[in-house]
């Protein structure tokens, strides 16, 4: 029992020991597992910590990379945006006000109003499109909005050529005060103000302008003026910017017109800058919400804040406005004369008319001008300095390059003081001339007789052509040229500058000139004779208005800037023309026929000389230089064709005395023929000694040229000591001549009286030239009268100078019936009323003395007296 108990105890102990061992083993294993688990936990924790640190480091690195890329991209985008803005708004469109200057651009640019506030230091301008793009509506703070409007307008003006942006202001609340800084532009027409109640008419006029542009300019392949300007490199119309600074409700009509302009205006160069009027968002409209600080917004910039620029400095604004106004007043630079010339010269026929471009239209196309049966004649008007002479040059150059001298002939007359047409005649430095020119008359403002002579010449040419047409049974020049191809029938263009001088006054010259001009204007059209009358004075144009039959023939009207009365009364197109522009109207000035022409600079002497020399070298070899008449020049006897035609001979039955140059189209000398007939003496009357002695010298030299030596006698009598040098100089040139003065003139008169009283004529003529014949002793007048009455039939002729018409009459006996011995006379400073005793009929010649002019009358050939110019020293 005990054994079993002990056994049991042992078993229990063994079991306990075994259990304890197992438990210890299990505990040890569990502890080992725990250590392993703890070690693993530590490893996991360590790995997790390391992973977290690695991930955090990677995250931080990635965030740094992202931040760096963000900064880099933002800088690049900001730089690109700034560069794009600088390209889109170069120069005056985007420069800061601190160094701002006008910089006209070839095309419209976007305009800066401020800067975008990006989280980057790179400044990015905030731009808005206006010219050629759309419209701008300004809302928000009024003062800031005024600065925005002023800056927009100044930048728009500064980026366009002067005058190419025109502003129209409507400011009913402040009566234009919102645009006060732009006031210097108003006199030049760049800025106009609309009265408070004029919004409706303003919108109507702008709408009509858009309609006109659409119908006339954009009727072809272009959809906007911007496309047209890009294709042709020329903008045909200026931009019009209407600045509407009002408030309140619009009428239904005004709202409709405003919406129409907002839709269609930009394509036609009409733009609106609006502040205060209700406008709904639409394409092409930029909204600017003005606020102080950094809270402004642009509709095109989304939610980006904008800092608006301050307004332009007043000094910059005023100076720029004045500079633009001065440039507009001066006008745009003209194109070159070469733009009017054809590729090949002298290829046109003038049979049916003359057509040549006068300049370019606003669309850049040549504007042809025609002289033909209709319109037959032209009237040009423009105040001094507006380019009238330049326009005439340009027209002549275009015609001369197209038509050869066989097809076209010019006759040029300038009544103003100047040498505008001198370049067309040969000169001392330049021997060339325009081959088409047949006559050049300069400085004829005191020689109206020369204008009358031109009209008489053209009248004779008209009759010659009309007679030829009648013989060929045709009616006009085209038919005559076709029927008579060998005849020389060029079209004639007579240009008369300051023509009103010829028509001024109520004298015989004006009366005859009007009659001749009316006949030429009415009948010349069919025979190829065309008149171009030009004037710079309103009174010049008005000289025609009292003659409706005459002015009706001048249906081609050309008005230069500020010209008046040349167009129709209601046609004011010339009032706003810039320099080097003209209105060409072929319908007597009716507004519907207006054509605006930009005239090239034809006055440049180098360019003109190049053309003239080229045409001169091509001239027909038989063509003679034109006749040049200069009223300010004293002609010379050695230049007279009539003097050179005198040939010396042993026997001359009717010697010719040359006296001076006639005022005529042809270079012709005034003459008196000394036949063996009563009265064949010459008297010079007047106190101007230089002219009197010059006429006597001309007479003596022309007589000497007709006689072989010792075939004529000459006696020079000088009774005035002041005239002695001239008399002695003439005596030295006369062969077989004697010289007499107060000491020995008695002997000469006794011999002459005896010879004149003889029965037979002398074997050779005897010419007695007397200086100051009125100084002859009274007791010798009877002998002188005998010589004057009887001498010419005995071949004794007296050529005397009396210092007054009354002194001559006294020397002749004091009665009108005793003036017959003087068959020819020349009057200097003697008034017409004093010449009545020597003039046929009961009247007196219309003569008002003027320097170095004389009145010549020869009873044997003249119906009326003629004005001559004494020849001066050779």
Residue 621 burial class via C-beta count within 10 angstroms: exposed 0-12, middle 13-18, buried 19 and up: exposed
Q: What is the 3-state secondary structure (H, E, C) of 722-774?
A: HHHHHHHHHHHHCCCEEEECCCCHHHHHHHHHHHHCCCCCCCCCEEEEEECHH
Each residue of 491-546: pLDDT tens digit?
999 999 988 888 877 788 888 998 999 999 999 999 999 999 998 866 666 777 77
Decide if pLDDT at 793 tops 80. yes
| 8 Å CB contact between 608 and 397 | yes
- Confidence class of residue 363 from pLDDT cuts 50, 70 and 90? low
Q: Cα torsion at 161, 165, 166, 167 (round to 10°)?
A: -130
Each residue of 78-114: pLDDT tens digit?
777 677 777 878 888 888 888 889 988 878 888 998 8
Please state, in angstroms and rounded to a whole number, the distance separating the CA atoms of residues 34 and 26. 12
pTM: 0.73
Please state, in angstroms and rounded to a whole number, the distance separating the CA atoms of residues 497 and 380. 9
Cα 73 to the center of its chain, rounded Å: 57
Residue 115 sits at the vertex; the CA angle it makes with 110 and 119, to the nearest 5 degrees, is 135
Residue 814 burial class via C-beta count within 10 angstroms: exposed 0-12, middle 13-18, buried 19 and up: exposed
Judged by DSSP in three states, 782 sits in: helix
| Residue 545: other Cβ atoms inside 10 A | 10
pLDDT at site 37: 84
Judged by DSSP in three states, 240 sits in: strand
Q: Name the E strands within 415-555.
A: 437-442, 491-497, 529-535
Highest mean pLDDT among 295-299, 322-326, 406-410, 837-841: 406-410
Each residue of 9-49: pLDDT tens digit?
777 777 777 777 878 888 888 888 888 888 888 888 888 88
Judged by DSSP in three states, 195 sits in: coil
| Residue 764: other Cβ atoms inside 10 A | 15
pLDDT at site 538: 64
Please state, in angstroms and rounded to a whole number, the distance separating the CA atoms of residues 476 and 786. 60
| Residue 304: other Cβ atoms inside 10 A | 13
- Confidence class of residue 692 from pLDDT cuts 50, 70 and 90? very high
Decide if pLDDT at 774 tops 90. yes
Please state, in angstroms and rounded to a whole number, the distance separating the CA atoms of residues 55 and 61. 10
Q: What is the 3-state secondary structure (H, E, C) of 654-681?
A: CCEEEEEEECCCCCCEEEEECCCCCCCC
Each residue of 645-673: pLDDT tens digit?
998 876 778 899 999 999 999 989 999 99
Each residue of 145-202: pLDDT tens digit?
889 999 999 999 999 888 889 999 998 887 666 788 888 888 888 888 888 888 899 9
- Confidence class of residue 825 from pLDDT cuts 50, 70 and 90? very high
| Residue 315: other Cβ atoms inside 10 A | 8
Question: What are the b/e assignments for 579-613, b being 16+ CB within 10 Å?
Answer: bbbbbbbbebbeeebbbbbbbbbbbeeebbeebbe
| 8 Å CB contact between 401 and 409 | no
Decide if pLDDT at 754 tops 80. yes
CB within 8 Å of 778: residues ≥ 6 apart: none
Please state, in angstroms and rounded to a whole number, the distance separating the CA atoms of residues 778 and 741. 15
Please state, in angstroms and rounded to a whole number, the distance separating the CA atoms of residues 136 and 282. 11
Each residue of 232-255: pLDDT tens digit?
677 778 899 999 988 778 888 989
Each residue of 710-736: pLDDT tens digit?
889 999 999 999 999 999 999 999 988
**φ, ψ dihedrals at 287, nearest 5°:** -105, 130
Q: Name the E strands within 375-452.
A: 378-381, 408-414, 437-442
Please state, in angstroms and rounded to a whole number, the distance separating the CA atoms of residues 511 and 264. 59
Judged by DSSP in three states, 426 sits in: coil
**φ, ψ dihedrals at 544, nearest 5°:** -95, -25
Decide if pLDDT at 220 tops 90. no
pLDDT at site 784: 93
pLDDT at site 828: 96
Of 283, 250, 256, the closest CA to residue 267 belongs to 283
Strands 866-870 and 854-858: antiparallel
Q: Please name the residue that has the structure tokens 């079993």.
A: 4
pLDDT at site 528: 95
Q: Which element (helix H / strand E) includes 80? A: helix 2-88
Instruction: Annotate 577-636 with DSSP letters as a single string.
Output: PPTTEEEEESSTT-GGGEEEEE--B---HHHHHHHHHHHHHTS-TTPPPPEEEETTSPPB
CA distances from 541 to 333, 413, 589 (A): 28, 17, 13
| 8 Å CB contact between 542 and 535 | no
Average confidence score pLDDT of the chain: 88
Percent of the chain exceeding pLDDT 90 equals 46
Tell me the average pLDDT across 545-555. 82
* Separation of first and last alpha carbons in the chain: 192
Of 164, 158, 170, 167, the closest CA to residue 317 belongs to 158
Tell me the average pLDDT across 861-867. 90
Higher pLDDT, 783 or 9: 783
Tell me the average pLDDT across 404-421. 89
| 8 Å CB contact between 531 and 496 | yes
Residue 307's DSSP bridge partners are 115
Please state, in angstroms and rounded to a whole number, the distance separating the CA atoms of residues 306 and 125. 9
Q: Name the E strands within 90-238.
A: 111-116, 124-128, 135-140, 165-170, 191-194
- Confidence class of residue 370 from pLDDT cuts 50, 70 and 90? very high
**φ, ψ dihedrals at 822, nearest 5°:** -100, 95
Pair of tokens at residue 352: 């049916």
Judged by DSSP in three states, 429 sits in: coil
Please state, in angstroms and rounded to a whole number, the distance separating the CA atoms of residues 628 and 345. 26
Q: Which element (helix H / strand E) includes 62? A: helix 2-88
Judged by DSSP in three states, 393 sits in: helix
| 8 Å CB contact between 377 and 525 | yes
Pair of tokens at residue 207: 């709408």
What's the residue count for the chain? 874
CB within 8 Å of 493: residues ≥ 6 apart: 354, 371, 399, 408, 409, 410, 411, 530, 532
- Confidence class of residue 579 from pLDDT cuts 50, 70 and 90? confident
Each residue of 49-85: pLDDT tens digit?
888 888 888 888 888 888 888 777 777 777 776 777 7
């Amino acid at each position: 029992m005990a054994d079993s108990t002990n056994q049991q105890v042992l078993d229990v102990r063994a079991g306990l020991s075994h259990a304890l061992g197992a438990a210890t083993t299990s505990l040890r294993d569990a502890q080992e597992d725990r250590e392993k688990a703890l070690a693993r936990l530590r490893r996991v924790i360590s790995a997790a910590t390391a992973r977290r640190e690695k991930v955090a480091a990677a995250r931080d690195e990635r965030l740094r990379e992202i931040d760096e890329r963000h900064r880099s991209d933002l800088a690049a985008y900001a730089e690109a945006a700034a560069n794009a803005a600088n390209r889109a708004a170069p120069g005056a469109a985007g420069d800061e006000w601190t160094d701002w200057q006008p910089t006209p651009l070839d095309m419209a640019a976007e305009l800066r109003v401020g800067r975008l506030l990006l989280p980057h230091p790179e400044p990015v301008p905030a731009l808005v499109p206006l010219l050629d793009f759309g419209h701008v509506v300004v809302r928000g703070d009024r003062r800031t909005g005024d600065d925005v409007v002023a800056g927009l307008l100044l930048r728009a003006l500064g980026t366009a050529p002067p005058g190419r942006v025109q502003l129209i202001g409507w400011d009913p609340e402040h009566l234009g005060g919102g645009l006060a800084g732009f006031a210097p532009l108003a006199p030049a027409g760049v800025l106009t103000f609309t009265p408070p109640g004029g919004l409706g008419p303003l919108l109507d006029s702008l709408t009509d302008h858009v309609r006109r542009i659409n119908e006339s300019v954009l009727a072809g392949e272009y959809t906007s003026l911007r496309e047209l300007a890009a294709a042709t490199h020329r903008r045909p119309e200026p931009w019009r910017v209407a600045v509407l600074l009002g408030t309140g409700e619009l009428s239904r009509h005004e709202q409709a017109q405003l919406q129409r302009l907002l839709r269609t205006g930009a394509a036609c160069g009409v733009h609106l800058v609006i502040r205060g009027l209700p406008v709904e968002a639409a394409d092409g409209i930029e909204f600017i919400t003005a606020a102080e600080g950094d809270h402004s917004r642009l509709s095109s910039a989304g939610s980006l804040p904008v800092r608006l620029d301050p307004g332009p400095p007043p000094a910059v604004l005023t100076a720029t406005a004045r500079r633009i106004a001065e440039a507009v007043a001066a006008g745009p630079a003209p194109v070159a004369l070469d733009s009017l010339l054809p590729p090949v010269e002298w290829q046109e026929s003038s049979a049916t008319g003359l057509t040549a471009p006068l300049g370019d239209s606003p669309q850049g196309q040549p504007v042809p001008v025609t002289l033909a049966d209709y319109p037959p004649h032209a009237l040009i008007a423009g105040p001094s300095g507006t380019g009238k002479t330049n326009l005439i040059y340009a027209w002549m150059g275009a015609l001369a390059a197209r038509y050869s001298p066989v097809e076209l002939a010019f006759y040029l007359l300038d009544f103003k003081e100047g040498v505008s047409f001198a370049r067309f005649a040969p000169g001392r430095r330049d021997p060339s001339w325009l081959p088409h020119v047949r006559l050049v008359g300069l400085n004829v403002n005191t020689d109206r007789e020369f204008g009358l002579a031109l009209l008489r010449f053209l009248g004779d040419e008209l009759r010659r052509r009309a007679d030829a047409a009648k013989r060929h049974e045709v009616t006009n020049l085209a038919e005559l040229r076709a029927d008579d191809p060998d005849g020389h029938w060029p079209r004639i263009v007579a240009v008369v500058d300051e023509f009103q001088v010829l028509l001024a006054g109520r004298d015989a010259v004006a009366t005859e000139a009007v009659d001749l001009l009316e006949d030429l204007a009415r009948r010349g059209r069919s025979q190829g004779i065309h008149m171009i009358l030009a004037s710079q004075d309103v009174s010049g144009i008005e000289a025609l208005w009292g003659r409706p039959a005459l002015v009706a023939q001048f249906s081609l009207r050309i008005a230069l800037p500020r010209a008046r009365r040349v167009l129709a009364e209601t046609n004011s197109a010339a009032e706003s023309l810039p320099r080097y522009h003209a209105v060409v109207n072929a319908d007597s000035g009716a507004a519907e026929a207006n054509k605006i022409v930009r005239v090239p600079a034809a006055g440049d002497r180098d360019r003109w000389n190049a053309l003239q020399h080229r045409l001169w070298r091509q001239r027909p070899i038989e063509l003679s230089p034109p006749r040049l008449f200069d009223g300010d020049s004293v002609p010379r006897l050695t230049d007279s064709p009539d003097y050179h035609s005198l040939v010396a001979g042993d026997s001359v039955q009717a010697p010719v005395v040359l006296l001076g140059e006639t005022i005529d189209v042809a270079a012709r000398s005034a003459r008196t023929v000394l036949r063996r007939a009563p009265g064949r003496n010459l008297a010079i009357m007047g106190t101007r000694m230089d002219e009197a002695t010059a006429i006597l010298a001309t007479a003596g030299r022309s007589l000497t040229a007709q006689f072989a030596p010792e075939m004529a006698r000459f006696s020079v009598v000088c009774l005035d000591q002041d005239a002695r040098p001239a008399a002695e100089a003439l005596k030295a040139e006369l062969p077989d001549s004697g010289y007499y003065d107060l000491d020995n003139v008695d002997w000469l008169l006794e011999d002459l009286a005896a010879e004149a009283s003889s029965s037979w004529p002398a074997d050779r003529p005897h010419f007695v030239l007397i200086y100051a014949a009125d100084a002859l002793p009274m007791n010798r007048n009877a002998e002188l009268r005998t010589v004057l009455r009887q001498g010419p039939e005995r071949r004794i002729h007296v050529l005397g100078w009396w210092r007054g018409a009354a002194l001559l009459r006294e020397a002749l006996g004091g009665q009108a019936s005793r003036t017959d011995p003087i068959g020819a006379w020349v009057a200097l400073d003697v008034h017409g009323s004093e010449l009545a005793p020597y003039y046929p009929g009961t009247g007196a010649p219309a003569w008002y003395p003027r320097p170095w002019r004389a009145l010549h009358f020869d009873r044997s050939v003249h119906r009326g007296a003629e004005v001559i110019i004494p020849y001066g020293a050779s």
